[in-house]
Amino acid sequence: MPDQETDNSSAPPSPRFEPDDGWVPADERLFGVDRRTIAPTLAVFALVIVMSVVLPVINAMVPYDDIVKAGDVLKLEGDVTVVPEAGWGITSGVRAGNAPLSGEYPATATVEQKAVKFRVHTAPFNGDANKLLDQIETTSEALNRGRGVHVASMHTTIVTDQGKQGAIARVTGPNTGGVIAAFVFEGRGVEAVATGPSDTGPESTAAVLRMIRSISHPGEGTR
Amino acid sequence: MTTTPADLDRARNVALDLSGWGRRFTFYQPRNFAFWGYLALVGTGMFVFASTLTREYNAYAPAIALAVTSFAIYAALFWWFTQYIDHYAKLPAKLMVVAFLWGGFAATWTMAANANDAILALYAKSFGQSWALNWGAGLSAPFTEELAKGSGLLLLIALAPPQVRTAFDGFILGAFIGLGFQIIEDIAYAMTSAGSQFGANQIGASIGTIFVRMVSGVAAHIVYSAIFCAGLIYLLGRPAEPRRVGRGLLLMAIPMLLHGTWDSLAAIAGPSVLTLFGLLIAVVVIALVIAVRVYELTARRERDFVRDVMAPEEARNVIAAAELDAMAGNRKARKRYRKAGRNQRERKRARYVLNAAYGLADELASARGADTDRVRFARAEVGRIRAGVPPPPR
The model's pLDDT over B316-333, given as tens digits with 9 standing for 90+, comes to 999 999 999 999 999 899
Average pLDDT score, chain B? 93
The CATH number of residue A122's host domain is: 3.40.1000.10
Give Rg (Cα) of chain A. 31
φ, ψ dihedrals at B336, nearest 5°: -60, -45
Residue B216 CB: number of other CB atoms within 10 A? Answer: 16
Q: Read off the pLDDT band of B310 (50, 70, 90).
A: very high
Range of the domain at A150: 74-213
B141 belongs to a structural domain: yes
A4 belongs to a structural domain: yes
A129 belongs to a structural domain: yes
Which of A52, A95, A191 best tests the B interface by mutation, with the highest count of B CBs <10 A?
A52
- Residue B314's closest CA among B325, B304, B303? B325
Q: How far apart are CA B216 and CA B208, in angstroms?
A: 12
A93 and A45 assigned to the same domain: no
Contact A51 B114 (CB under 8 A): yes
Q: How far apart are CA B76 and CA B64, in angstroms?
A: 18
Contact A18 B162 (CB under 8 A): yes
At A110 the three-state DSSP class reads strand
CA dihedral B186→B188→B191→B197, nearest 10 degrees, is -90
Read off the pLDDT of residues B229-267 as tens digits, 9 standing for 90 and up: 999 999 999 999 999 999 999 999 999 999 999 999 999
**Does the pLDDT of residue B49 top 60, yes or no?**
yes
Contact A21 B25 (CB under 8 A): yes
**Residue percentage of chain B with pLDDT more than 70:** 99
Contact A41 B37 (CB under 8 A): yes
| A212 interface with B at CB cutoff 8 Å | no
Chain A residues 115-174 with a CB less than 8 Å from chain B:
121, 123-126, 132, 135-136, 138-139, 142-143, 145
| A38 interface with B at CB cutoff 8 Å | yes
B125 belongs to a structural domain: yes
Average pLDDT score, chain A? 88
Q: Is pLDDT larger for residue B142 or for residue A11? A: B142
A69 belongs to a structural domain: no
Provide the domain count of chain B. 2
DSSP per residue over A118-172, as a string? EEEEEEE--S-HHHHHHHHHHHHHHHHTT-SSEE-S--EEEE-TT--EEEEEEEE
| A1 interface with B at CB cutoff 8 Å | no
A13 and A117 assigned to the same domain: no
Which of A59, A90, A150, A183 best tests the B interface by mutation, with the highest count of B CBs <10 A?
A59
Contact A64 B369 (CB under 8 A): no
Closest Cβ–Cβ partner in B4, B37, B117 for A9 = B4
Rounded mean pLDDT of A53-81? 94
Provide the domain count of chain A. 2
Read off the pLDDT of residues A73-120 as tens digits, 9 standing for 90 and up: 999 999 999 999 999 999 999 999 999 999 999 999 999 998 899 999
Range of the domain at B379: 316-387
A26 and A108 assigned to the same domain: no
- Assess contact for A127 and A184: CB atoms under 8 A: yes
**Does the pLDDT of residue A146 top 90, yes or no?**
no
Q: Give me the pLDDT at residue B79, please.
A: 87
A223 belongs to a structural domain: no
Q: Which range has the worst mean pLDDT, B338-342, B350-354, B363-367?
A: B338-342
Q: Give me the pLDDT at residue B90, please.
A: 85
B248 and B333 assigned to the same domain: no
Read off the pLDDT of residues A179-214 as tens digits, 9 standing for 90 and up: 999 999 999 999 999 999 987 777 888 999 999 999
User: In chain A, which residues have their Cβ closer than 8 Å to the Cβ of B126?
Assistant: 62
Helices (H), A50-128: 55-61
Q: Give me the pLDDT at residue A220, please.
A: 65
| A69 interface with B at CB cutoff 8 Å | no
Q: Give me the pLDDT at residue A169, please.
A: 95
**Residue percentage of chain A with pLDDT more than 90:** 65
A85 and A186 assigned to the same domain: yes
Q: How far apart are CA A48 and CA B151, in angstroms?
A: 9
Read off the pLDDT of residues B143-202 as tens digits, 9 standing for 90 and up: 999 999 999 999 999 999 999 999 999 999 999 999 999 999 999 999 999 989 999 999
Contact A99 B160 (CB under 8 A): no
Distance of CA A23 to the CA centre of its chain: 47
Residue A61 CB: number of other CB atoms within 10 A? Answer: 7
Contact A135 B133 (CB under 8 A): no
Give this prediction's pTM.
0.91
**Residue percentage of chain A with pLDDT more than 70:** 91
Rounded mean pLDDT of A8-34? 74
Helix (H) or strand (E) holding A89: strand A89-92
A205/chain B closest Cα distance in angstroms? 24
Rounded mean pLDDT of A144-157? 82
Read off the pLDDT of residues B2-42 as tens digits, 9 standing for 90 and up: 688 889 999 999 999 999 899 999 999 999 999 999 999 99
**Does the pLDDT of residue A3 top 60, yes or no?**
no
Read off the pLDDT of residues B60-87 as tens digits, 9 standing for 90 and up: 999 999 999 999 999 999 889 888 887 7
Closest Cβ–Cβ partner in B32, B118, B129 for A59 = B118
Q: How far apart are CA B340 and CA A170, in angstroms?
A: 79
